[in-house]
Chains A and B, each alone.
Chain A
Amino acid sequence: MNKDSEKKDDQQPNEEQSNSSSLVQKIQALGQTNVPQAPDSNIHVLSIVGQVEGHIQLPPQNKTTKYEHLLPQLVAIEQNPKIEGLVILLNTVGGDVEAGLALSEMISSISKPTVSIVLGGGHSIGVPIAVSADYSFIVPTATMTIHPVRLTGLVIGVPQTFEYLDKMQDRVINFVVNHSNIKEEKFKDLMFAKGNLTRDIGTNVVGTDAVEYGLIDAVGGVKEAMEKVNELINNQRGNQQEVIQ
């Protein structure tokens, strides 16, 4: 008994110390001491931020989204019967074409309802990821830069590289055209437009314009996205019940 109580006495100061230090950490990290608790969610959230990292690891000062992290999560979402819907949050500057297309194809082939929200920016390869969801939203202030696919760094064999990039660009264009309401001509017009970007060809499409062009389904934020995903979940439940009957 004595030993036990002594032990407790010994531990208490330590615990208090760790409690106060974790409190300080929380304030440093979040600017607040406690966050609200919530019940189990049937909707999962996938955030795609910073650069979409491809086959080469980017230096640590870059904020990146790695496909090797996201692809297994997407499979887990598809497999878990408790998860009924997925919300994708996008704030990306673009990145690796093949990694971005891999994510887009995974999201578009998930059987559960998916809704995406473009916040801040969904540039370059962020465009196919945004349109890959069943329904896409963009906040009014968000922008999407549409420009030709290109390569930085060393180029070996210009004609071959050009053809390779051209093919890669066609894959992006085809994906976007197939998964959104934009016409191929319109998307190409935006991609190769001159005079919109100061040092480049392409177009910077702002929230409402993206909806006008048919690229994104609607202007809206979290509230609209959650309403939509719940509506899609209810539709799917209804369909399943009909099949059973």
Chain B
Amino acid sequence: MILYTPLSENDVFPTNETDYTNRQCVSYNGKSCYVEQTENGEYRILQLLSTDPKDFLDMSYTPGNIIK
């Protein structure tokens, strides 16, 4: 399918609302993390939001880690 329109892709194909709701920013042990809720209700770390390089060496904030 080829579209020829001045509209942006998002106006033509709006994103599903639920895509936004399963991702959120939470504070985990005092560090803010961007997490995704998995199907069984657990949270998986997507991104650690910190400027301290030391935090990135902490195993518990590794992206992909499951937190409760």
Do the two shown chains form a genuine complex with each other? yes
Chain A 43-82 interface mask (CB, 8 Å, partner B; 1/0): 1111000000000010110000000010001001100000
**B7 contact set on A, CB distance < 8 A:** 153-154
A152, B62: Cα distance in complex, Å: 36
Chain B residue, CB-CB nearest to A21:
B66
Contact in complex: A57, B53 (CB < 8 Å): no
B19 near A: Cβ within 8 Å?
A: yes
Instruction: Indicate the size class of the contact surface on chain B.
Output: 20 to 34
Check A26–B53 contact: CB distance below 8 A: no
B59 touches A22 (CB 8 A): yes
CB–CB A152/B51 < 8 A:
no
Could you say which residues of chain A place their CB within 8 Å of the CB of B63?
Answer: 29
Contact B11 A26 (CB under 8 A): no
Q: How many chain A residues touch B (Cβ–Cβ < 8 Å)?
A: 30
| Min distance, Cβ B45 to any Cβ of chain A, angstroms | 9
| Given known A35-B57, A60-B19, A152-B8, contact A44–B51 (CB-CB < 8 A) | yes
Q: Which residue of B lies closest to A69 (CB)?
A: B49
Residues of chain A with a CB closer than 8 A to B10's CB = 59, 153
Residues of the B chain whose Cβ atoms lie less than 8 Å from the Cβ of A35: 57, 59
Contacts known (A26-B59, A60-B23, A154-B7); A38 close to B54, Cβ less than 8 A:
yes
Asked whether A40 is an interface residue with its Cβ less than 8 Å from the other chain, the reply is yes
Known contacts A59-B19, A69-B32: A38-B57 contact under CB 8 Å: yes
Within the complex, what minimum Cβ distance (angstroms) separates B23 from chain A? 6
Determine whether the beta carbon of B25 is less than 8 Å from that of A69: yes
Return the chain B residue nearest A49 by Cβ. Answer: B47
Let me know if B49 and A30 touch, CB within 8 A.
no
Q: Is the CB of B65 within 8 A of A153?
A: no
CB distance from A39 to the nearest CB of B (A): 8
Enumerate 20 A-B pairs (CB-CB under 8 Å) in ascending A order.
A25-B64, A25-B65, A26-B59, A26-B62, A26-B64, A29-B64, A38-B53, A38-B54, A40-B54, A41-B52, A41-B53, A43-B53, A44-B51, A57-B20, A59-B20, A60-B23, A86-B51, A153-B6, A153-B8, A154-B7
